[in-house]
Amino acid sequence: MTSDQALPRYALELRGIEKSFGTNQVLKGVSLTLEAGQITALLGANGAGKSTLIKILAGAYDRGAGEILVGGDPVEITSPLSAAHAGVHTVHQRIDESIIPGLTVAENLLFEELARGELPVIGSLRGLLPKARAMAETLNLQWSDAKLMSDAFELGIADAQLLVLARAFVKAPKVLVLDEPTSTLSQAEAERLFGLVGQMRSQGVAILYVSHHLSEIQTLADKLVVLRDGLIKDRQSTPLDMGEAVRSMLGEAVAVEVEQTDRRRSNRLALELRGVQLLKRSAPLDLDLNYGEVTGVVGLLGAGKSELARGIFGVEPFRSGTIRFDGLPYAPRRAGDGVNRGIYLVPENRAAEAMLPGWSLAGTVSLPFLTKVSAGGVINRRSERSRAKKVIDEFSVVTTGPDQLVDALSGGNQQKVVVGRWMSGDPKVVLMDEPFRGVDIGARHDLSLKARDAAARGACVVVFSSDIEEIREVADRILVMVEGQIALDRTATEVDADAIMTSMSEVSR
């Protein structure tokens, strides 16, 4: 290379990117640069335009105006394959957009090679195993050949995210976009990811890192930018001022912690669980849950939190044990049993379990309550839209209206719709499994207040999360689960983060 052939200053440059959906202009001239070998964090409240910008870089959306340069050269990104060809690889928050059910785990790991014709489409699937094993080992995934040969649809959400991450890391991209990459990972898996991200940075990859976990950004990022209302509102280099970033993101300071004086306890019994076995090798447990308070259940991946929530709801009956609800025997065997009794579940995976693709916001809100918006088997659209409008107003959902497709909403606004749907149904018991996953600090605060409002109105609210601070923010009572057992049960005012963490690390005997 001659002296006048200098390397391009930026790995990625966005100049004046605009995007509108009808009359709604989501991006209003976004200009952003990423340097090789640096991690740039992208922050923004729900509805700020983050998801739209990411989908433009991934080739899922065409940009309305502006220019994209990779390595100093203008590029046209019109599809995921053209993005990959330009050297831009995206790991999406919604894993279902990146996993193809019906194909094996090995085929999903090698999907891009298969799509480009670099590997034979017809042939023995076992012929793919050596390369699939090597890809899995980039994240130190000790997956057996049987697992690699199984349908990817059978993977849990955390394993599915690890699959997509492994696929990205072996591509040696020029630009890597990570959208909420730790949202489904345990702490150990997240630490492994951080090491790999640092390794890719040292290899010269430019990384755009999107996360609502401010501690991650503080630890990892070299720079940050804040997107609000479709415009860049703040740019920082280390040392990062996270307080200023939050103020730029939300437009005002938001108190994350709910005041301790708001904490309440109740003795009005809602649910009595006796001899309930959650996991294959766990001992039975007893648990009482009360009306009028928020119980926070915290534990690592695999602790039994989701099994507890889904068992109470009825979608996955407990291995053994009994439940009494309002003093009477209760033995749910399907989700409808819970809904009919006023027991509602906000599931861990909203995309796969709480929404239908192509449905409107109004249809999504009314889906579990069709008898309330229909007569003679015919849905009253005015009633349906009125119900949705109430959720939009009460939960401050950023949307064009009740008829907008729920798929088009940002992740946080989708979560508000899912939570608001159940809160509008006069719940007796609300089970919220990882309700803050992938939502920003403002939306998390809003959802926490709604959970507490429901408890103040007399509902039994149970929030399940692997994040200690999320539970401390919302709960009156805190339970720590370890290997299907309750390792700690205290009021929120009696326990601090260190005590919770210590309990989470204990191994059941």
Q: pLDDT, tens digit, for every residue of 337-353?
A: 889 999 999 988 887 78
Mean pLDDT in residue range 200-205: 90
List the structure tokens of 82.
Answer: 């053209």
Q: Of 155, 439, 477, give the one whose Cα is nearest residue 295.
A: 477
Q: What is the pLDDT of residues 395-442, one digit of tens each?
A: 989 899 999 999 888 878 899 999 999 988 789 999 999 898 767 777
pLDDT at res. 46: 67
The dihedrals phi and psi of 424, each to the nearest 5 degrees, come to -75, -5
Measured at the CA of 94, the angle between CA 207 and CA 193, to 5 degrees, comes to: 40
Any alpha helices (H) in 34-175, and if so which ranges? 50-58, 80-86, 105-109, 111-115, 129-136, 145-148, 157-169
Cα 302 from Cα 183, distance rounded (Å): 15
Q: For the stretch 33-53, what's the b/e string if a residue is b when 16 or more beta carbons lie within 10 angstroms of its beta carbon?
A: bbbbebbbbbbbbbbbbbbbb
Cα 220 from Cα 343, distance rounded (Å): 41
Phi-psi region of 292 (alpha: psi -120 to 50; beta: other; left: phi over 0): left
Strand ranges for 343-496 from DSSP E: 343-346, 374-375, 378-379, 429-433, 460-465, 477-482, 485-491
Cα 110 from Cα 273, distance rounded (Å): 45
pLDDT at res. 254: 42
In this structure, are strands 223-228 and 206-210 parallel, antiparallel, or unpaired? unpaired
Inter-residue contact 492 to 448 (CB < 8 Å)? no
User: Is it true that 12-99+155-250 and 269-504 share their CATH fold?
Assistant: yes
Mean pLDDT in residue range 214-232: 90
Phi-psi region of 130 (alpha: psi -120 to 50; beta: other; left: phi over 0): alpha
| Three-state secondary structure readout of 30-46 | EEEEECCCCEEEEECCC
Measured at the CA of 298, the angle between CA 292 and CA 299, to 5 degrees, comes to: 155
Residue 312, H or E segment: helix 305-313
CATH number (3.40.50.2020, 3.40.50.720, 3.40.50.300, 3.60.40.10) of 12-99+155-250 reads 3.40.50.300
Cα 470 from Cα 415, distance rounded (Å): 15
pLDDT at res. 376: 79
pLDDT at res. 374: 80
Q: In this structure, how many other beta carbons lie within 10 angstroms of the beta carbon of residue 209?
A: 22
pLDDT of 261 above 50: no
Residue where the block lists tokens 């640096």: 38
Mean pLDDT in residue range 381-391: 92
pLDDT at res. 262: 58
**Higher-pLDDT residue of 82, 199:** 82
Cα 4 from Cα 315, distance rounded (Å): 66
Residue where the block lists tokens 């407990």: 318
51 pLDDT band (50/70/90 cuts)? Answer: confident
pLDDT of 2 above 50: no
Any alpha helices (H) in 326-410, and if so which ranges? 335-340, 350-353, 361-366, 381-395
List the structure tokens of 290.
Answer: 């009360």
379 pLDDT band (50/70/90 cuts)? Answer: confident
List the structure tokens of 430.
Answer: 């609300």
Q: What is the pLDDT of residues 434-491, one digit of tens each?
A: 898 767 777 888 899 999 999 999 999 999 987 888 898 899 999 999 888 999 999 9
DSSP letter for 316, please.
S
% of the chain exceeding 70 in pLDDT: 92
Query: Which sequence spans correspond to the domains of the chain?
Result: 12-99+155-250, 269-504
Inter-residue contact 346 to 326 (CB < 8 Å)? no
Range with top average pLDDT, 118-122, 164-168, 262-266, 317-321: 317-321
Cα 108 from Cα 76, distance rounded (Å): 26
pLDDT at res. 247: 77
CATH level 3 topology of 269-504: Rossmann fold (3.40.50)
pLDDT at res. 142: 81
C-alpha 7: how far from its chain's center? 37
Cα 306 from Cα 299, distance rounded (Å): 10
List the structure tokens of 247.
Answer: 């103020």
List the structure tokens of 159.
Answer: 């394993």
Inter-residue contact 19 to 56 (CB < 8 Å)? yes
pLDDT at res. 312: 95
